[in-house]
Structure 1
Amino acid sequence: MTDTPTTLDTVLTWVAHASWQAAVLGLLVAVLSRVLRGRLEPRWHFCLWLVVLARLALPVTPPAPWSLFRLAGVAAPKQAPIASSVTATVIDSPVVATPDPPFAPDISPTISREANAEGLPVPPSGEETVRETSTSIPGETGKWVAAVWLAGLLLLMTRQGWLSYQFRRQRGTWRDADSAVLDLFRRCQAELGIARSVQLLIAPGRHGPATWGMFRAGVVLPADLPARLSPGELRLVLQHELIHVCRRDVLFDRVATILAAVHWFNPFAWLTLAGLRRERELACDAAVLRQIGDGEAGRYGHALLAVAERLTAAATTSMVGVVGRNQSLDRRIRMIANYRAPTAARTALGGLLLVMLVALGLTDAAGEPPPAPAPDRPASAAPPGKENRTVTLTGVCEDDTGKPLPGVRVVLYRYDWTNLKDEKIHDQVTGNDGRFSFPDVPALPADELTNWGYLLAATSAGRGSVVEYLQPQALKGPPRLRLGPAAALQGRVTDIAGKPVAGARVWGSFTNSPIEGVRSTWTDANGRYAITDMTAWGSDATKPQPAGAGMGMAVSGCFFHVHHPDYARAMPMYRGMPAAVDVVLKPAAVIEGRVMDRVTGRPAGGVHVELQPAMDRPDRYPEGAETRTDAEGHYRFASMPAGKYALWADAPDRTCVTPDLMTIEAGKSHTAPVIELIEGGWIEGHVVAADTGKPVSGASNRDRLSVAVCGSARPEAGSRMISTPVDVRGRFSVRVPPGLNFPSLTKTDYWYRTQRREYFEKGIEVKAGEVTSVVFRILPAKPLPDPDPAPVRLPIPVPAERQAAALIRQLGGGTRSTWAAT
């Protein structure tokens, strides 16, 4: 399956959506026709069926809150990403030659649910939501459905073409009508006010009476019909056919036939065709009776019976006849016999029903509007749908011994990941108890991935400043900010020629941009800098610390940032504090490129693009960058150091196909290959405890548990991976590019305790448009009790048991030694 919907996918989606809605309308019109038979003029019955025909013909209809289909809660199929499909897949589990543990060992990817018809899996986390329903067909099934639909359509259209060819051959044998019949025909044409040219022909055999020609109309009569009917009866038959010409019934019949072929799988399409033909003849009969008056109804019915009795052959394709295969002659005769002139009330009823049916049936349920670029929300505003979820954020500032620190300035920032902006929303100084409190802070969802977050910055004279990102749990419990003694990071910044670089930005926090007044400064004219609010630390901080799963972690150094627009960015390291570090800035490289949406074929404007450095050198930590594309999908990274980089683009409802790692050279401009956005596939599942099967909450600890994925679009050599948080119920879902993907848990302890971890390390194949479900089972931190495997032999059987065993062997049975483990 391709990554993008083909034209056939889109057409089939439209056909399916129009077909089921037309079926609902057809059922409604059939009921109305039955209930209102005799109360409504035949022309109004015909018009009601025309509404069903219109719904079959229209690929889309305008949304409206009063739509009949709003009751079903189903919106029109979306274009672009939604038109394609989502399927679920089962991946065979590996064969592992190990004894089964005392709890369920199967961790192979399994199907947790059927894929929905819209092409959208369950949201990554949070509460269940009600989604739009689409009529797209998933995966390989969709291909077979499309093939069968096309085969049926081509077969029916081939038949129609063959019948049209035969009709044209037969028409070559027809001759002009005699002058007497032609004069009568012209008088009827004048009575009906038909100014257009209409041809009258005589056919040998039993073809007709019928009307033919969608645009150049004509009427054909059997050769013996003028002799069999009286002039008065022949006049009525000719009037009937000329009314078909006035109404352009041949055109409507051909359109209805083609639409029935397009929707051949839908019985209501054929019901619509039959209803149109039936009501068409009734409407023509009623029009003739209105023209000749009630007194001529009997003679008209007699003429109709005479034609039906003598000419039993049905009209062929391309013609509309007085008597055809699909006509209910009995109902027509009853209508003629009981005909009454239309009243104003019946006319008003018909018009009202038609207007209501058009308003209800030729509109669609209002779908979700396309996402518009969200304006920057004020600092106190919550994300959409969470306006009322606010908390009071309280915390405490302490010194390195745990004592409260008064007079600490604490600032709360809100960072917008989408627009790459941060803004200060609260500023407070701690009291004697070292506490701070920020009321009415919009809560961070504990089980959702958001495009914004919070960070706290605390500063105090003589103390090292603290910058800390807030996890969702921090808004439920008070964060504790520990400010140790201050120390200075200082040095000199020069270029490769040894000249000082003035005006360079230097900061020592982990943020992508500096926070004014917090661990940041500028170089002076001599290139010198000094950050005086760093936190002092020495050799004790470099001692290994337990990291779980029998592993340890040691700090060998910390990085800081040096930026200048005319040079490549630098991230030098210091190995203690205080520290003196001189920095040499190298010539900058420039990377330019473009992001295209493969689904729509258009440039992807306003897309977040990341430049991800490869971890190819252990002696340095290369710095990445991020930006947004312009309206034409273009982006530009300047001041980049030489090295290898991977490119990545984030957009709603998309993942991306990225080129291989790029090698860029200092002082040069580079044009990156086009980044293509696709729909991709999904990896979703649960994280559970292996011994109990209970879900492992991703928000249970201060360090958030996430599932990270690297693969074809995010090489393991890169410094970043796709990641998604695990919610409070242990669930996760992440959109990934097709190909071999490597999911893992971000908590080292959990990852090393994942049962059969080697299976995930081998990679999981994900196909475009498919959902692959996996389960991470976390083994207990403490090993399960291991029973003593030493065997104990049972007592020797008594003689009677020996005799019984010997008898069993003689009869062909067998015995075995019996062992028991304590």
Structure 2
Amino acid sequence: MSLLLSSAALSLLAGVIVWIAGRRDPAESPLLTLGSLMTLLALPLLTLLPKVTLEMSALPLSDSPAASSPTIHFIALVWAGGMIFFALRILVDWGGLRQFRAESAPSKDPVIAQVLGECSSQLGLRRRVRIHVHPQALTPFVAGLFRPVIYLPECCHRWERDTLRMVLMHELGHVARHDLWTNLAARCACVVYWFNPLVWWLRSKLVTQCEFACDARVIAAGTNPGSYASALCDIAEASALPASAMAMAGRAPLRARIERVVRCRSKGHPFVVAAALFLTVSASLGLSVVRLSPAQSAISAPGIGNTGPSTLYSPEELSLRSNARAFPLD
């Protein structure tokens, strides 16, 4: 029960911090959102740390602590059932990606291979990324934690070279930033705290911020913002994507992305992100290691936690009763 309350308080704090940062810049560094989700994931382990007990004189005492045990067991069962359900959804998505890859074919287009090499060199990406073409792919996306693959629709052969470069630069940006692992970590946080809408909101916010970051990389590489915004609109007509994938025209709000691309807003200050992360981590440690307990004086006070004879009779009456003869002789 303490883990449930701690996670709720921490997610509320993280949500407020991310929301405030987002009002200043919707594309604020995703490190803040990712750090909040990772802290929530580590919260069950943090509860194993040695506790620091703080005495509180105003804490109410429970008359029957064991009375709520069935309720706690029921909550634990529901929690575990939800975790199993959402974990199975991740496995189903991975199975769908494996089937999707089996139905696709490696690209043999020399132009695509050349542009891929140019974009990889420009990003300093040394990992090998494959290009597959799928007949049913509606929009380009990248998937694969250990062997990333960029999936392109069949119409990619008719794209102009600049459009192809923008698409590959964006998808390679996800690989260079390890956004696929970031997405997996966020989904794991949603598995553990599936009942908390704030955690789902943080994951959605993180996906949006990752898309903003990759858009910024494409613009920084010399792409014309207007041309890139036009390409986003053309490719975003279809958006049926696996949950484990990252795409150029993915789940992030398209209008917000286009507005940011056109305006080319500057990045936020790293100090703000670091300070917010420090506050979130400090709060999680405080919620994990601090344990409140009633003060000893409150426990020994008359009428609180003590129903012995000393609280029912005065000292004089106790003395008379102890000296009295229970069965006097006549």
Q: TM-score, normalised by structure 1?
A: 0.34
User: Given the alignment of the two structures, is residue 186 of structure 1 paired with residue 107 of structure 2, yes or no?
Assistant: no
Asked if 2 retains the 8 angstrom alpha-carbon contact of 1:281 and 1:322, the reply is yes
User: Given the alignment of the two structures, is residue 14 of structure 1 paired with residue 9 of structure 2, yes or no?
Assistant: no
SS in 2 for 1:362: helix
User: Given the alignment of the two structures, is residue 335 of structure 1 paired with residue 260 of structure 2, yes or no?
Assistant: yes
Distance apart, 1:51 and its partner CA:
2.3
Asked if 1 retains the 8 angstrom alpha-carbon contact of 2:141 and 2:245, the reply is yes
Q: Distance in 2 between matches of 1:215 and 1:334?
A: 33
Distance 1:181-1:359 versus aligned 2 partners, 3 A rule: same
Give the aligned partner of residue 253 of structure 1: 183
User: Given the alignment of the two structures, is residue 160 of structure 1 paired with residue 90 of structure 2, yes or no?
Assistant: yes
Alignment partner for residue 302 of structure 1, among 230, 242, 249? 230
Give the aligned partner of residue 73 of structure 2: 143
Alignment partner for residue 195 of structure 1, among 118, 122, 126? 126
User: Given the alignment of the two structures, is residue 56 of structure 1 paired with residue 26 of structure 2, yes or no?
Assistant: no
Give the aligned partner of residue 797 of structure 1: none
Q: Distance in 1 between matches of 2:305 and 2:19?
A: 46
Partner amino acid for 2:110?
S
Distance 1:149-1:368 versus aligned 2 partners, 3 A rule: closer
User: Given the alignment of the two structures, is residue 169 of structure 1 paired with residue 121 of structure 2, yes or no?
Assistant: no
Asked if 2 retains the 8 angstrom alpha-carbon contact of 1:209 and 1:220, the reply is yes
Matches within 5 A, 1:41-440: 42=27, 44-59=28-43, 128-130=57-59, 138-177=68-107, 178-227=109-158, 229-292=159-222, 296-309=224-237, 312-324=238-250, 326-340=251-265, 342=266, 347=268, 350-363=269-282, 364-365=285-286, 367=289
Distance 1:188-1:128 versus aligned 2 partners, 3 A rule: closer
Distance apart, 1:14 and its partner CA:
3.5
Give the aligned partner of residue 64 of structure 2: none
Matches within 5 A, 1:465-476: none
Alignment partner for residue 700 of structure 1, among 311, 314, 330? 314
SS in 2 for 1:195: coil
Q: Distance in 1 between matches of 2:79 and 2:323?
A: 53
| Root mean square deviation of aligned Cα | 3.7
1:669-728 Cα deviation digits (max 9, x unpaired): xxxxxxxxxxxxxx946479xxxxxxx7468316879xxxxxxxxxxxxxxxxxxxxxxx
1:426-459 Cα deviation digits (max 9, x unpaired): xxxxxxxxxxxxxxxxxxx89949xxxxxxxxxx
Give the aligned partner of residue 508 of structure 1: none
Distance apart, 1:20 and its partner CA:
2.8
SS in 2 for 1:206: coil
Q: Distance in 1 between matches of 2:277 and 2:174?
A: 24
SS in 2 for 1:224: helix
SS in 1 for 2:286: coil
Q: Distance in 1 between matches of 2:49 and 2:298?
A: 31
Asked if 1 retains the 8 angstrom alpha-carbon contact of 2:41 and 2:189, the reply is yes
Asked if 2 retains the 8 angstrom alpha-carbon contact of 1:48 and 1:357, the reply is yes
Q: Distance in 1 between matches of 2:121 and 2:90?
A: 34
Q: Distance in 2 between matches of 1:270 and 1:210?
A: 22
Q: Distance in 2 between matches of 1:55 and 1:699?
A: 53
Distance apart, 1:334 and its partner CA:
0.6
Give the aligned partner of residue 14 of structure 2: 25
Distance apart, 1:337 and its partner CA:
1.1
Structure 2 unaligned residues grouped into runs of 5+: 61-66
Partner amino acid for 1:302?
S
SS in 1 for 2:176: helix
Asked if 2 retains the 8 angstrom alpha-carbon contact of 1:206 and 1:313, the reply is no
SS in 2 for 1:201: strand
SS in 1 for 2:103: coil
Asked if 2 retains the 8 angstrom alpha-carbon contact of 1:19 and 1:263, the reply is no
Distance apart, 1:56 and its partner CA:
1.4
Asked if 2 retains the 8 angstrom alpha-carbon contact of 1:210 and 1:220, the reply is yes
Partner amino acid for 1:308?
A
Partner amino acid for 2:11?
A
Distance 1:446-1:287 versus aligned 2 partners, 3 A rule: closer
Partner amino acid for 2:10?
Q
Distance apart, 1:164 and its partner CA:
1.5
Partner amino acid for 2:113?
L
Distance 1:704-1:199 versus aligned 2 partners, 3 A rule: farther
Q: Which has the higher helix share?
A: 2
Distance 1:704-1:261 versus aligned 2 partners, 3 A rule: farther
Distance 1:25-1:699 versus aligned 2 partners, 3 A rule: farther
1:717-744 Cα deviation digits (max 9, x unpaired): xxxxxxxxxxxxxxxxxxxxxxxxxxxx
User: Given the alignment of the two structures, is residue 37 of structure 1 paired with residue 21 of structure 2, yes or no?
Assistant: no
Partner amino acid for 1:351?
P
SS in 2 for 1:265: coil
Q: Distance in 2 between matches of 1:160 and 1:700?
A: 67
Q: Distance in 2 between matches of 1:150 and 1:329?
A: 36
Asked if 1 retains the 8 angstrom alpha-carbon contact of 2:17 and 2:276, the reply is no
SS in 1 for 2:142: strand
Q: Distance in 1 between matches of 2:317 and 2:102?
A: 86
Partner amino acid for 1:256?
A
Structure (1 or 2) with the larger CA radius of gyration? 1
Partner amino acid for 2:9?
W
Asked if 1 retains the 8 angstrom alpha-carbon contact of 2:34 and 2:186, the reply is no
Distance 1:684-1:307 versus aligned 2 partners, 3 A rule: same
Q: Distance in 1 between matches of 2:141 and 2:58?
A: 57
Distance 1:59-1:369 versus aligned 2 partners, 3 A rule: closer
Distance 1:369-1:199 versus aligned 2 partners, 3 A rule: same
Distance apart, 1:31 and its partner CA:
2.6
1:551-600 Cα deviation digits (max 9, x unpaired): xxxxxxxxxxxxxxxxxxxxxxxxxxxxxxxxxxxxxxxxxxxxxxxxxx
Q: Which has the higher strand share?
A: 1
Q: Distance in 2 between matches of 1:301 and 1:368?
A: 50
Q: Distance in 1 between matches of 2:323 and 2:216?
A: 84
Distance 1:698-1:303 versus aligned 2 partners, 3 A rule: same
Give the aligned partner of residue 63 of structure 2: none
Distance 1:369-1:155 versus aligned 2 partners, 3 A rule: closer
1:109-149 Cα deviation digits (max 9, x unpaired): xxxxxxxxx9xxxx9xxx94459xxxxx9411001101111
1:331-373 Cα deviation digits (max 9, x unpaired): 0011111114x3xxx55xx211111112211013385599xxx
Distance apart, 1:18 and its partner CA:
2.8
Distance apart, 1:314 and its partner CA:
2.2
Asked if 2 retains the 8 angstrom alpha-carbon contact of 1:213 and 1:250, the reply is yes
Q: TM-score, normalised by structure 2?
A: 0.81
1:629-672 Cα deviation digits (max 9, x unpaired): xxxxxxxxxxxxxxxxxxxxxxxxxxxxxxxxxxxxxxxxxxxx
Structure 1 unaligned residues grouped into runs of 5+: 1-11, 63-75, 83-117, 132-136, 371-384, 387-444, 450-682, 689-695, 706-746, 753-822
Q: Distance in 2 between matches of 1:361 and 1:749?
A: 64
Q: Distance in 1 between matches of 2:83 and 2:227?
A: 44
Partner amino acid for 2:261?
I
SS in 2 for 1:327: coil
